[in-house]
Amino acid sequence: MRFINRNLHQKKCKLCGKESEDISEKLGVCRECVLTDYTNASEIISIIRKTYRMNYSLPIKPPKTKNGLTCGDCVNNCVLGSDEIGFCNLVKNIKGKLVRIAGDEKNGLFSFYYDSLPTNCVAAPFCPGCSSNGYPKYSYVAGAEIGWNNLAVFYQACTFDCLFCQNYQYRNGVHVSSPTSPKLLINAVRKNTSCICFFGGDPAAQIRHSNKVGELSIEKAQKEDRILRVCWETNGSAKPELMRKTTEIALKTGGLIKIDVKTFDDELNLALCGSSNKFTLFNLKEIGKRINERPETPLLVASTLLIPGYVDVDQVAKIAEYLVSIDESIPYSLLAFYPSFAIDDLPTTSKKHADRCFKAAIEKGLKNISIGNQHLLR
């Protein structure tokens, strides 16, 4: 059954006066004004962002206090004054010392569960555990690993603040979870666990922790002579130096790195997600350069959520062109949008919207494109 849309009415941009069902009244501005008049558009958008950040007791924006302490683990590059906390709510300046409350090699904020294979992951068509890729080096069977499971690790923090967040419950988790050692996850690996996947929130906020888990996973796999893939689903905003370690772990274990490319234009990324996409695009290229080092199964998968009125053909075409400049074989998944969180007054993605974007990606030369969440298309 298709989703019955209840958001199909005209809404007005507060800057240019344009009316459309594909404008979020809660966001307050249309895509064109974000791209051509970002300064004024951002002032309007900041109202809704401030409201939601305060509701979850999170910093309104990445701090940039003069003479403060620099974190530098992600694209936000927070500079913290005395007693200030980072945008992710995990790093604090305590008496002139940068203290990581969680997300380092010692402790992380997360929950986990066992997800039976094959999963409904965006990267499932390419994953050794859900397809015939990677057998026998990275998979136990020549096909989906039925009877095996994925240790799914949900990190309770994020480097972005997406106003369309599909997993917005993590914002509460930052405050109610307890910091836990990477060894807890290694001890949680069962005999029939063939992979570990980090998502959230976003593992970018706790990339040091996930990398440590990955390193321990390699040790466990070698000691027990077993397969144990390590994968990431991320916005790609972690510091490139830290992402290089992530890439090494994924390469060695047969894991995938799925990067969610929210937008191509940075102004749109800042408007919708509260952070820059500069590291996302940089890390995408850095990882993409290495995909031929492991031809058995893709190292990198990219995806984009098709948000009506905001992420349409123009953004997808630019992202696709960028991917082709790296490697035309990079798998690219276009995902249907479901109204959620702060801007829940937009319609779901239409089939026409998805088809236009699919065609645009093909025309740019990508060879491996799919449309996910098709049951949501109207």
144 and 290 together in one domain: yes
Phi-psi region of 160 (alpha: psi -120 to 50; beta: other; left: phi over 0): beta
**Would you state the structure tokens that stand for residue 138, as one six-digit string?**
């990275």
Q: Is the pLDDT of residue 3 over 80?
A: no
Q: Is the pLDDT of residue 83 over 70?
A: yes
Contact 334, 371 (CB under 8 A): yes
19 and 150 together in one domain: no
Res 1: pLDDT: 41
Q: Is residue 307 part of a domain?
A: yes
pLDDT digits (tens, 9 = 90+) for 95-119: 999 999 999 999 999 999 999 999 8
When pLDDT is averaged across residues 119-131 and rounded to a whole number, the result is: 86
When pLDDT is averaged across residues 367-371 and rounded to a whole number, the result is: 94
Q: Is residue 4 part of a domain?
A: no
Choice between 251 and 132, residue whose per-residue pLDDT is larger: 251
Q: What is the pTM (predicted TM-score) of this model? A: 0.94
Q: Is residue 146 part of a domain?
A: yes
Which amino acid type is present at position 173? Answer: G
193 and 274 together in one domain: yes
- CATH number of 306's domain: 3.20.20.70
pLDDT digits (tens, 9 = 90+) for 267-301: 999 999 999 999 999 999 999 999 999 999 999 99
The domain of 75 spans: 58-101
Sign for the CA dihedral angle at 249, 251, 254, 259 comes to positive
Contact 111, 173 (CB under 8 A): yes
Point out the domain boundary residue: 19, 38, 55.
55
121 and 247 together in one domain: yes
153 and 257 together in one domain: yes
Report the domain count for the chain: 3
Q: Is residue 1 part of a domain?
A: no
86 and 212 together in one domain: no
Closest CA to 86 of 68, 110, 108: 68
Contact 114, 151 (CB under 8 A): yes
Residue in the block written with tokens 């800042």: 270
Contact 117, 229 (CB under 8 A): no
35 and 70 together in one domain: no
When pLDDT is averaged across residues 135-144 and rounded to a whole number, the result is: 94
Res 262: pLDDT: 98
When pLDDT is averaged across residues 253-263 and rounded to a whole number, the result is: 98
Q: Could you check whether the bond before residue 118 is cis, i.e. omega within 30 degrees of 0?
A: yes
44 and 63 together in one domain: no
83 and 203 together in one domain: no
- Do the bridges between strand 91-94 and strand 97-100 make them parallel or antiparallel, or are there none, so unpaired? antiparallel
Q: Is the pLDDT of residue 2 over 60?
A: no
d(CA 241, CA 283): 9
**Would you state the structure tokens that stand for residue 34, as one six-digit string?**
């974000």
Average predicted confidence (pLDDT) for the chain? 94
141 and 265 together in one domain: yes
pLDDT digits (tens, 9 = 90+) for 30-72: 999 999 999 999 999 999 999 989 988 889 999 999 999 999 9
88 and 172 together in one domain: no
Q: Rg of the Cα trace of the chain?
A: 20
Contact 20, 11 (CB under 8 A): yes
142 and 242 together in one domain: yes
pLDDT above 70 coverage of the chain, percent: 97
